[in-house]
């Protein structure tokens, strides 16, 4: 799988926006960018995915750089329930397995 690089940890205050970066400089043209998150003591949870265009859903927005070598997951208003480890994943085309790195541990301060 294309490798991703994420900061180990980030902090945010409640009700403020959070921008979680991911670098994937070796991404290929067919690689989708997936984001999952894992709340404490739970299994991972899908957040969002995209290929080239920016994507929005009820949980978050995904901003993809024009050269696709980086992306940013945006939580518009962080809540305490958003405290989790966020994983940026690039499954290879045709491969169904997700290769998780260590992700970014997001702490949300009240």
Partner 1 sequence: GAGVSQTPSNKVTEKGKYVELRCDPISGHTALYWYRQSLGQGPEFLIYFQGTGAADDSGLPNDRFFAVRPEGSVSTLKIQRTERGDSAVYLCASSSYIHNEQFFGPGTRLTVL
Q: Which residues bind partner 1 (CB under 8 A)?
A: 32, 34, 36, 42-46, 49, 85, 87, 95-103
Which residue, 13 or 82, has its beta carbon nearer to partner 1? 82
* Shortest reach from residue 21's CB to partner 1, in Å: 17
Whole-angstrom distance, CA of residue 86 vs CA of residue 62: 13
Whole-angstrom distance, CA of residue 36 vs CA of residue 44: 6
- Residues linked to residue 56 through DSSP beta bridges, in sequence order: 61
* Shortest reach from residue 84's CB to partner 1, in Å: 12
Do residues 11 and 19 touch, judged by C-beta distance below 8 A? Answer: no
* Shortest reach from residue 44's CB to partner 1, in Å: 5
Which residue, 4 or 12, has its beta carbon nearer to partner 1? 4
In what side-by-side order are the strands of the sheet with 55-56? 18-23, 70-75, 61-64, 55-56
Instruction: Map tokens 């404490």 to a residue.
Output: 40
Which residue, 41 or 110, has its beta carbon nearer to partner 1? 41
* Shortest reach from residue 78's CB to partner 1, in Å: 22
Which residue, 15 or 51, has its beta carbon nearer to partner 1? 51
């Amino acid at each position: 799988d294309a490798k991703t690089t994420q900061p180990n940890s980030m902090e945010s205050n409640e009700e403020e926006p959070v921008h979680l970066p991911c670098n994937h400089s070796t991404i290929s043209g067919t690689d989708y960018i997936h984001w999952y998150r894992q709340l404490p003591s739970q299994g991972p949870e899908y957040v969002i995915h995209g290929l080239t265009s920016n994507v929005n859903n009820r949980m978050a927005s995904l901003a993809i750089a024009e050269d696709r070598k980086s992306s940013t997951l945006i939580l518009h208003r962080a809540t305490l329930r958003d405290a989790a480890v966020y994983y940026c994943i690039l499954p290879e085309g045709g491969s169904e397995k997700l290769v998780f790195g260590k992700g970014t541990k997001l702490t949300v301060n009240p």
